[in-house]
Amino acid sequence: MTERVVLAYSGGLDTSVAIGWIAEATGAEVVAVAVDVGQGGEDLEVVRQRALACGAVEAYVADAREEFASEYCFPALKANALYMDRYPLVSALSRPVIVKHLVRAARQFGATTVSHGCTGKGNDQVRFEVATTSLAPELKTIAPVRDLALTREKAIAYAEKNDLPIATTKKNPFSIDQNVWGRAVETGFLEDIWNGPTKDVYNYTDDPTFPPVEDEVTIRFERGIPVAIDGVEVTPLQAIQEMNRRAGAQGIGRIDIVEDRLVGIKSREIYEAPGAIALIAAHAELENVTIEREQARFKRTVDQRWTELVYDGMWFSPLKKSLDTFIEDTQRYVTGEIRMTLHGGRATVTGRRSDSALYDFNLATYDEGDSFDQSQAKGFIEIFGLSAKLAAARDEKFGNGVDFGVGSL
């Protein structure tokens, strides 16, 4: 029986050529797998027919937008996931859901190998292959660009020679990956990190320099998940799409970063993630209101480690699953509403309310009605600072006290 390869198929030139390229190089039949995670573009049926016309023996297509939003983007939201404190894991989040469908298709069509279009110097090759071995250790992996010498020039020549139904126009100056959570842009003149991004880099966001009038939005969360916007109930996908629209119109979520890649190099990346950035800001502020102090401090450490694991392609790892459990437990009381003003590139929280809030007005106020017993503060400070006081006395005894310098007192 002829071996089969399942190929992560985008419908573009490179993966369309990869169908025949893989078949010729390996002798295997190719099954194209197209997964819609909100990247826009063509209808899935059009993509399916193109894959078959380019030589695929089968074509598996899946509308995974709701799945991606609820099972991948929203766990990242609960973790306030921002790699290097800025990047909301746009591409990293989509890879495990695509792999999940690749493995499903491999089992459905009897394939022994998974294939992706990644190069040998990026993060995505790791994400695809580690996720594949985590879900299906028996499957092999090949990458046409990395392993079978498929370059852009060879792809254009192959498509023209074989009359494939795909455009062979000059390459876009940028490499772009996008989904409902955001958009990633790299290469071209952006590789010179002194060059500023031009207007044509952006698509999800309008120029924040000339914003429309400010937009006030109220987001209701239940257990860390946005469930309504301005009183209108929304699904996970609708919540992201609506915030993409409204925050994007204000130029929110533009990120220009020199990023530490997993493979050890630094890479200049431009991201647009208006909905993600606005939702994370709202969620983080609701956590400030509802999560106990020590739990919140530790969660910030967990959030960072969770984010690094997902960035590094370890979505299905044991540690990530364990951290999921902790993060989910912290969301028990993250229920309430956040009011935000969206304007000129910024999402600013202006109001918070929650029945499960730990904020107590009577304890916080300095005005009439103050219920905080200030007389207890002096004894608290004495006990809190006792260990430091004893250590300081010992240092003085052995001549290791603080040197204030000549004339400092």
- Pick out the residues of the known binding site for L-citrulline: 87, 123, 127, 175, 259, 271
Whether 346 is catalytic is: no
CB within 8 A of 353, min separation 6: which ones? Answer: 336, 337
Beta bridge partners of 122: none
CA gap 152, 200 in Å, rounded: 22
**Binding-site residue positions:** 8-16, 87, 117, 119, 123-124, 127, 175, 259, 271
CA gap 74, 205 in Å, rounded: 21
CB within 8 A of 122, min separation 6: which ones? Answer: 261, 263
**Binding-site residue positions for L-aspartate:** 119, 123-124
Chain centroid to CA 340: 22
Q: Look up residue 198 and give its two tokens.
A: 């031009």
Whether 175 is catalytic is: yes
SS3 59: strand
DSSP secondary structure letters along 248-314: HHTTTTEEEEEEE-TTS-EEEEEEE-HHHHHHHHHHHHHHHHHS-HHHHHHHHHHHHHHHHHHHTT-
Whether 134 is catalytic is: no
- Of 14, 36, 303, 312, catalytic: 14
**Binding-site residue positions for ATP:** 8-16, 117
Contact yes or no for 324/317 (Cβ under 8 A): no
Contact yes or no for 139/133 (Cβ under 8 A): yes
Whether 206 is catalytic is: no
Listed as own residue / partner, the contacts of 22-27 with beta carbons closer than 8 Å and 24 or more positions apart are 22/115, 22/142, 22/144, 22/148, 23/55, 25/144, 25/148, 26/113, 26/142, 27/2, 27/3
In the numeric block, the tokens 């002829």 are attached to: 2
Q: Is the dihedral of CA 35, 36, 38, 44 positive or negative?
A: positive
Q: Look up residue 241 and give its two tokens.
A: 């799409």
- Of 36, 124, 303, 312, catalytic: 124
Strands in 29-36's sheet, in edge-to-edge order, are: 58-63, 29-36, 4-8, 113-115, 140-142
- Of 70, 134, 147, 175, catalytic: 175
- Of 4, 48, 65, 95, catalytic: 95
Catalytic residues: 14, 95, 124, 175
